[in-house]
Amino acid sequence: MSSASADTGQLAERGPAGDGQPLIEARHIVKRFGSNTANDDVSIAIMPGEIHALLGENGAGKSTLVKILYGSLQPNAGELIWKGQAVEIASPAEARELGIGMVFQHFSLFEALTVTENIALALPNCKATPELAATIARVSQNYGLPLDPAAHIVDLSVGERQRVEIVRCLLQNPSLIIMDEPTSVLTPQEADQLFVTLRRLASEGCAILYISHRLEEVRVLCHRATIMRRARVVAEADPTVETVGTLAQLMVGTEIEHVERKRGTRRGPEAILISNLSLESQEAFGISLKNINLSVRIGEIVAVAGVAGNGQKELFDALSGETLCPREDMLIFDGEAVGMLEINDRRLGGAAFVPEERLGHGAVPALKLSENVVLTRHGTGEGITRRGFTRFGLAGEVVEAVTTLFDVRKGVDDPEARSLSGGNLQKFVVGREVQRHPRILIVAQPTWGVDAGAAAVIRQSLINLARKGAAIIVISQDLDEIFEIADRIAVISRGQLSPAEDADTLTPEKIGLLMAGGAEKKGAAA
C-alpha cells in the first residue's frame, strides 16, 4: 500500500477483480413514494475490498438505494443478500450490526462536545472513557486520520470533522462503508488525504460504496461504477477506462449542454465596492468577517471560493442586508453607500440576492410559488403590493415568466415550493431574481446539489445576465463551477478574503492552498 499522491499509481492499487461472492447484493429493488418510483428494478453487487462508485444526477435514486442498504428505508419489492444470505435490514441499527457503516454528507456532531464524547454517543452503551480515547487515537493514527480525542468539535476544520465521522464508523468494524459525497466539503489537498485512507481500507478488504458527482475523482479512486438514471440502473462501467465525458453522458443520457462563455471583454463601471468590511459574528460559533475588500464591475462575475464555514454565510448576510454593516460606507452599490440599509431598500436600488439554502431561506417550503415570488419582490416597486394589499395575480404572472424562461418543471400551475425537486426549485429561486434584470446579483451556491442539466441552465443565465449589464458575486464551494463562470476569483478563509485574481491565472491547486489558510497571509500583505 503506497501512500503516494492520489494522482499517480492508482492502477496498481486497484482492488480485486469481480470474481467470487459479493459482500452485499441488492436484487430487483423497487421503492415507490406515492406515485413516484424512486428505485425501479435496481440491482447492484459490491465485492469485498472494492471501491464502488454510485453515480447519477440528483433525483436519479442514489439516496433512496443507499437508504435501503442502510436500513432507513424499506423496499416495496426486491431482496438484499448479505454475504450470500437473504437479509432484511429493518433499521440503521441492524445495518450497523451486520457491518454496514455510513458517513453522511452533512455531519451529525455536537460542536460543544469533544471527539471522544461525540463518538461515545454513537456507540451502544458506551461512555467517554480513557480507553475509548486511546482506541480513537490508535485507530485514527492507523488509518492516516490523525485526531486529538480531547479536542472539541468546534475547534476542528471541516476535514477533521469528517475524520471524526469516519473514525466513528470504523470503530464499529464495518465491512462496508457508504460515503455520501465525502469530498464536497474538502479542499483538494484534504480530498487526496481521504483517498489514501480509503485505498488503505479497501486493501484490508473493506468495501466502500462511494457516492459522488465529481467524475474526475471517481476515475482516480474507484474500481467499478454503477450509474443510475431516472430510478434505474442504466450502466455498469469501469471508471478507469471511461473518460469524464463518457461517464457524464451515461449519467445524463444525452450530451450535456456546454456553458457558453466569452470572457467579459467589455467591463462597465464599478457597481459593487466592499471596503474594509469587518463584522463581529453575533452567533456562538459564527465567523467574524475581517477587513474584506472587493470591487466588482458591471459585466463581470467574481467568485468567492472557499471551504464551507469560513464566513460565506456571514458575508452573504452582510451583502444582502440581513445583517447590517457597522458603517454605511463599508458597502457601496452603484455609488450609493448601502451598508446600513435593510434588504428591501437594497433591492429597491437594483440589487438581488439568492441564498444558499433553497428551502427555509430562499423560499418558504409550504407556500406556493406565487407566494414565494411575493417573498422577495414585494418591496421592489413592481406593484406586487399596493397600499398594503398583495396582488397574487401579478405574482402568478412572474411565476409563469420564470417557469418559461428557466424551464421549471412543476406538476400543477402553482405548486408549493417543497413539492419541486431540488434542481427545479433552484432554477425558480435563481430565475425569480434574474427575471427582474437586477444590476447587482449576489448568489450563494447557485448549483448546490443540482443535476447537471439544471446547473448548466443556471450558470448560463448568470453569464448572460452579467454580459447584459450586471455585476455578480458568486459565493461557491464548487471549483468546477467557479472556473466555468468566473472572470475573477477570490478565496475566503476564516473570515478573510484574498485579493481577487484573474481566473485564467489561477489553478485549482493554487486555490486549494488559499482555501487552506493561505489567504490570511496574502490578505494581510495586500
Q: Which stretch binds another protein (CB under 8 A): 137-145, 153-161, 268-276, 349-357?
A: 349-357
Q: Kindly identify the residues of this chain, within the stretch 62-81, that bind another protein according to CB under 8 A.
A: 74-77
One residue of 216, 357, 407, 413 binding another protein per CB under 8 A: 357
Burial label, 435 (beta-carbon count in 10 A; 0-12, 13-18, 19+): buried
Residue 178 phi/psi, 5-degree rounding, is -100, 125
Q: Which stretch binds another protein (CB under 8 A): 89-97, 158-166, 360-368, 470-478?
A: 360-368
Q: Are strands 471-475 and 440-444 parallel, antiparallel or unpaired?
A: parallel
Q: What is the CA radius of gyration of the chain?
A: 24
CB of 402 to another protein, least distance (A): 17
Q: Is residue 371 a contact residue for another protein (CB under 8 A)?
A: yes
> Which residues are CB-contacts of 339 (< 8 A; sequence separation ≥ 6)?
277, 324, 325, 326, 327, 328, 329, 330, 331, 332
Q: Kindly identify the residues of this chain, within the stretch 137-176, that bind another protein according to CB under 8 A.
A: none
CB of 479 to another protein, least distance (A): 27
Choose between 180 and 356: whose C-beta lies nearer to another protein.
356
Q: Is residue 344 a contact residue for another protein (CB under 8 A)?
A: yes
Choose between 151 and 375: whose C-beta lies nearer to another protein.
375
CB 331 within 8 A of CB 319: yes
496 membership: H or E segment, kind and range: strand 496-497
Q: Is residue 342 a contact residue for another protein (CB under 8 A)?
A: yes
Residue carrying the nine cell digits 468539535: 153
Choose between 379 and 517: whose C-beta lies nearer to another protein.
379
Q: Give the separation between CA 11 and CA 220, rounded to whole angstroms.
A: 9
One residue of 40, 41, 148, 322 binding another protein per CB under 8 A: 322
- The full DSSP string for 151-181 is SBGGGS-HHHHHHHHHHHHHTT--SEEEEES
Q: Give the separation between CA 174 and CA 283, rounded to whole angstroms.
A: 37
CB of 280 to another protein, least distance (A): 18
Choose between 94 and 322: whose C-beta lies nearer to another protein.
322
- Binding string to another protein for residues 400 to 429, with x set by CB under 8 A, is what? -----------x---xx-xx----------
232 membership: H or E segment, kind and range: strand 232-237
Q: Give the separation between CA 37 and CA 496, rounded to whole angstroms.
A: 46
Choose between 244 and 340: whose C-beta lies nearer to another protein.
340
Q: Is residue 327 a contact residue for another protein (CB under 8 A)?
A: no
- Residues forming contacts to another protein in the complex (CB under 8 A) are 30, 33-34, 74-77, 320-322, 342-344, 347, 353, 355, 357, 360-367, 371, 374-376, 378-379, 385, 388-390, 411, 415-416, 418-419
